[in-house]
Each structure stands twice: as C-alpha cells, then as structure tokens.
Amino acid sequence: MPTHHLVGRWEEIPERRCPNGLVAKTAPWPRLAAIFSCENSGLRGVVDFLIDTGADQTVLMPDDAERIGITNNHLVAGCPSQTRGVGGVGVAIKYLRDVTFEFQAEGNMTTPPIKFEQLAVLFPSRDSRRGHSAQSYSGMPSLLGRSFLQQCRIDFSAPAVLLHFED
C-alpha cells in the first residue's frame, strides 16, 4: 500500500475585541484543503477542512454545502441524531452519497481520489426555541473528523501539518 503525505497548514485566527474590552486570542487552526466531487450529482468544489481530532465524523458545514451547490434534494436521511459540540445541540445531519476527495500531497501533487460512501452534511434545526439557525453556523469550517483521520498518522509540526495516509 502506498503512503501519501498530505500537507496541511496552520491558519492564524485574527484577534477580536470583546464587548467587555478583553481581547479574544485563538491558537492557530490546523487546516487541509480538498477537492470535493460527487459524480452522481455533478457537484464539485474545494473544501477547506479544519482537522478536528475530537469530531466523530467528517462533516460538511452549511457555508461549504451552499457554496458547492448542495441542496436538500441531493441528500438522504440517516439515523435520527443530534450532534453536540462547538455548534451546540439541535442540528440535523443528512448524508451525501458517493463522495470523493483529493487532498493536497507533498510536491504539489494530489492524492488519488479517496471515496466516502457517505459524507455527513450539517443542517441547522428549524426549532427556533433552541436558538439554532443557519447564522449560528456561519463561518464555521467543515470538519475533517475521525471517520477519516483514524486512517492517518498526524504530525502537528509547525509550520506544516502532515497527515500520513495509506490507501
């Protein structure tokens, strides 16, 4: 089995001044870009993932789904579930079937297509009592979670992020 060395980057997050006058500082986020395609629907685009070792699954967030052109008609329902995490509770996960990603590898190459039988796509709950809406997730990056990362060895050596993936 060949090993591919995927090359990510650390993304600096700008400081923000809070209403109380304190400055919010965030550590850089490890990111990895992928070329997304779904042959069944003809969808294609680039997704910039946050490498999230705490996320169970790889999840496409609403901003990326909308930018690529994914609509509810492209998706299938999975097992009823709620997610709990940085975005809160009360979101619906639906799935896009037969998705492939090509990741940037060393030497400006890309990996051979890596197939996901199903990719989770997050849709905010319509339950306004919970305070979740599409705006709640605006700007949140899509997550490259353990459903993919469990196949990798990760090296978080600044300034690069290296994922060693065997296909």
Convert the pLDDT of each residue in 79-94 to its tens digit: 655 555 555 554 667 8
Q: pTM score, two decimals?
A: 0.76
pLDDT score, position 83: 56
Q: Which residue type sits at 105?
A: A
pLDDT score, position 126: 54
Q: Which residue type sits at 155?
A: D
Rounded CA-CA distance 22/19 in Å is 7
pLDDT score, position 128: 41
pLDDT score, position 136: 62
Domains of the chain: residue spans and CATH: 3-13+28-166 (2.40.70.10)
pLDDT score, position 129: 44
Q: Which residue type sits at 6?
A: L
| CA 51 from centroid of its chain's CA atoms | 7
Q: H helices within the chain, ranges in order?
A: 62-68, 146-149
Q: H helices within 28-164, ranges in order?
A: 62-68, 146-149
Question: Average pLDDT for consecutive 10-residue bins of the chain (167 residues)?
Answer: 70 71 73 87 90 87 90 79 54 82 77 85 60 61 87 76 71
pLDDT score, position 139: 76
**Integer CA distances (angstroms), 24 to 18, 27, 31, 112, in order:** 7, 10, 20, 40
Rounded CA-CA distance 113/18 in Å is 43
